[in-house]
A and B are shown apart, each in its own frame.
Chain A
C-alpha cells in the first residue's frame, strides 16, 4: 500500500467531468498538428481511458472503452474496429488488475500504464498487419513511453477539481 502519500477525501466524480475529459482528449486528437509530431505524441484518448478505468472502474468499463475506440477510429480515419479492439482489451487488462493498480504509487502506476499502452499498440499493429498494411517501424512504440512519462502529471491534473481545498 502507498503509505508515502497522505490519503485524502475527495469529492465524488461527476459524470459530466468524465465526459468532458474524453471530449477534450478527442479534440486534442483532431488538432491538425505539424507532420511528424504524431511520431511521438501519445494517444490521449487511451491515457484518459486508462485513468478512468483505474480510478472509476464502476463508471468506465470495457463498454465505454469500446465506444471510445470507435470514436478514435473515426477521428483518426483509421480502420473501423482497430482502436475499439485495442481499447477494450487494454481496459479489460487494467480492470482485472484494478485493485492492485490503485494501490501503486505514481511511478509504479506509470510503469503499468507503459505496459498497458504497449499492449494497446501491439494489438493495433497486429490488427493492421492482418488486414494488409505494412509494418510502420519501431518508432510506433515510442508514444506509449511518453504517455507513461505524462501519467503522473495527468493524474495530478485530473484530481485537481476534486480536492476539497484547492492547493
Chain B
C-alpha cells in the first residue's frame, strides 16, 4: 500500500495549509451566507438539478422491489384491507354528506355577508424521494417542484394530519420542513376548547409553549391548526396532547405533544394550497404619531 509514498519531484500546487485556509474560508462564507442570508438558493437549485437523475437512479431498484412486493400480496391481506377501506369509506361518506350540507349553508351565509368563498384548489399528490440523512434538519424531499407550480409556504399533509410546510422549491423537487424541525412553528388551537396556541418544533418532536397554568388542557386533547396565519387551512389535525405538567413555580404549563402524521415514515404526501386571500393588515394607527415625530426634530432644527 506504500505505492503512494514515492516522492514526487513535481510541483504539487499550493501547500495543504494554504488550501485548507482557502477552503475553510469559502465554507464559512457559504455557511454564513446560507444560514443568515439565504444567498445560495440559485446555486442549490442548479446542483439539485444535476443530482436529480442520480436520485432517480437510486430510487429505481427500491421502487421495483416495492412493485414486486405489491404483486405478490396475500389474498387474505387484500381482503382484509378491502374490508377496512370499505368501512372507512362508509364512515367518510356519512361525514361528507354532513360536510356538504354545512358547506352549502356556509356559502349561503358567506354570500349573505358578501364574503368571498374560500378557494378550493385540488391538492397535489407527491411522493417522498428521500429523507436527508442530516440528523439536524427534519426535512424530506418530494418529487414535485417548480414544474408542478409548488410554492414555498404551502402546507403538506398526509392521511393522518399535518406534516409540514414546503420551504424550498427546486426545478424538479421540493424540500418539506417537517413540523418537528427546530424553529418550525404552527399556529394551532385545542380542538375541544378552541384555545389558541403555538406549536413549536424542537428538533424531533413538538410541544406547546406559553400556555398559562390555568389553561384548560387535558391529556388526549387533539390539536388542530387554527388557520389564523393565512397559511394553513383551519381544522387540519396536527398533534395530540400526551402529557400536561403543571408546576406551581413556573409561569406556563409544560405540554408535551405527539405529532399525528407519520412525520418520519410517510411515502405519499399531499401538498395543499395556501389559504390565501388574507385581507391586508389594517393600516397601523401609529402613522400620524410617526409624522409628528418626524416634524418635531424638523421644528427644533
Contacts and interface: CB of A to CB of B under 8 A. Distances in A.
Partners in one complex: yes
Contacts of B117: none
Q: How big is chain B's contact interface, by range? A: 35 or more
Contacts of A85: 23-24, 27-28, 31
Interface string B22-55: 0110111111011110001001100110010011
B26 A84 contact: yes
Contacts of B43: 80
Contacts of B183: 132
Interface of A: 5, 7, 9-10, 26-27, 29-33, 35, 38-39, 41, 54-58, 61-63, 65-66, 69-71, 74-82, 84-85, 88-89, 91-92, 95-96, 99, 102-103, 127-128, 131-134, 136, 140, 155, 159
A96 B16 contact: yes
A56 B133 CA distance: 28
A76 B134 contact: yes
A66 B26 contact: yes
Given A57-B4, A81-B29, A132 B35 contact: yes
B128 A136 contact: no
Interface in B104-163: 128-137, 139, 141
Contact of B16 (A75, A92, A127, A131): A92
A16 to B, nearest CB: 17
B284 to A, nearest CB: 30
B3 A133 contact: no
B30 A84 contact: yes
A35 B136 contact: no
Interface of B: 1-5, 8, 12-13, 16-17, 19-20, 23-24, 26-31, 33-36, 40, 43-44, 47-48, 51, 54-55, 57-59, 62, 128-137, 139, 141, 175, 182-183, 202-204, 264-265
Given A32-B128, A81-B27, A81-B34, A75 B3 contact: no
Contacts of A82: 27, 31
Contacts of A35: 131, 264-265
Contacts of A29: 133
A4 to B, nearest CB: 12
A127 B31 contact: yes
Contacts of A55: 1, 3-4
B27 A66 contact: yes
Contacts of A31: 58, 62, 130
Classify the secondary structure of B's interface with A. Answer: helix
Contacts of A61: 13, 16, 19
B190 to A, nearest CB: 25
B23 A63 contact: yes
A43 to B, nearest CB: 8
21 contacts: A41-B133, A57-B4, A70-B30, A80-B30, A80-B43, A81-B26, A81-B27, A81-B29, A81-B30, A84-B26, A85-B28, A85-B31, A88-B19, A88-B20, A89-B20, A92-B16, A92-B17, A102-B4, A102-B5, A127-B31, A136-B203
A25 to B, nearest CB: 12
Contacts of B137: 77-79, 133
Nearest to B40: A80
